[in-house]
Amino acid sequence: MKRRSLLLGAASLTLSQLAAGCDSRQPLKIRSLKNTIPAQIVSKFSRDIKPPPVLQVTQQEQLQELFALLQQWKQFPKTKDRADLVMLGDYWLSQAIRQKTIEPIDTAKLANWSQLPQKWQALVRRNDAGQLDAKGKIWAAPYRWGTTLIAYRTDKFKTLGWTPKDWSDLWREELRDRISLPDNAREVIGLTLKKLGKSYNTQQLDKVPNLKTELANLHKQVKLYSSDAYLQPLILGDTWLAVGYSGDFLPLLQSQKELAAVIPVSGTALWTDLWVEPASKSQVPLMEKWIDFTWEPRIATQLSLLSKASSPIIVGMNSAALPESLRANPLLLPDAKIIAQSEFLLPLPNAGIEQYRSHWQEMRQLVKT
pTM for the model: 0.91
Is the confidence at residue 226, as pLDDT, over 80?
yes
pLDDT in tens, 36-88: 999 999 999 999 988 889 899 999 999 999 999 999 999 988 888 899 999 99
CATH number at residue 351: 3.40.190.10
Residue 342 lies in a domain: no
Domain housing 260:
147-269+347-364
- 114 occurs within a structural domain: yes
Residues 289, 258 share a domain? no
Q: What pLDDT was estimated at residue 16?
A: 45
Q: Is residue 240's pLDDT more than 50? A: yes
**pLDDT tens digits along 175-224:** 999 999 999 999 999 999 999 999 999 999 999 999 999 999 999 999 99
Q: Do residues 234 and 359 both lie within one domain? A: yes
Residues 112 and 152 placed together within one structural domain of the fold: no
Query: pLDDT, tens digit, for every residue of 271-330?
Result: 999 999 999 767 788 999 999 999 999 999 999 999 889 999 999 999 899 999 999 999
Contact 143, 66 (CB under 8 A): no
- Give yes or no for residue 368 having a pLDDT over 90: no
Same domain, 220 and 351: yes
Average pLDDT over residues 166-177: 98
Same domain, 184 and 69: no
- Angle (deg, nearest 10), helices 211-221 and 185-195: 110
d(CA 189, CA 199): 10
Same domain? 70 vs 154: no
Nearest to 337, CA basis, from 246, 270, 265: 265
Please give the tally of structural domains in the chain: 2
Q: 339 in a domain, yes or no? A: no
Residue 338 lies in a domain: no
Could you give the CA distance from residue 268 to residue 169 in angstroms, rounded to a whole number? 14
Residues 135 and 162 in one domain: no
Looking at residue 281, its pLDDT comes to: 67
Residue 174 lies in a domain: yes
Q: Are residues 264 and 311 in the same domain?
A: no
CA atoms within 13 A on the CB side of 63: 20
pLDDT score, position 128: 96
Q: What is the pLDDT of residue 19?
A: 40
Residue 215 domain-assigned?
yes
Report yes or no on 43 lying in a domain.
yes
Q: Are residues 307 and 257 part of one domain? A: no
Q: What is the pLDDT of residue 9?
A: 33
Using the predicted structure, report yes or no on whether residue 18 has a pLDDT greater than 60. no
Average pLDDT of the chain to the nearest whole number? 91
Residue 134 and residue 154 in one domain: no
* Range of weakest confidence among 16-20, 148-152, 302-306: 16-20
Question: 200 and 93 in one domain?
Answer: no
Share of the chain above pLDDT 90, in %: 84
Alpha-carbon torsion angle 6, 147, 305, 333, nearest 10: 170
The least confident of 22-26, 251-255, 351-355 is 22-26
CA distance 81 to 72: 11
Shared domain check, 353 and 264:
yes
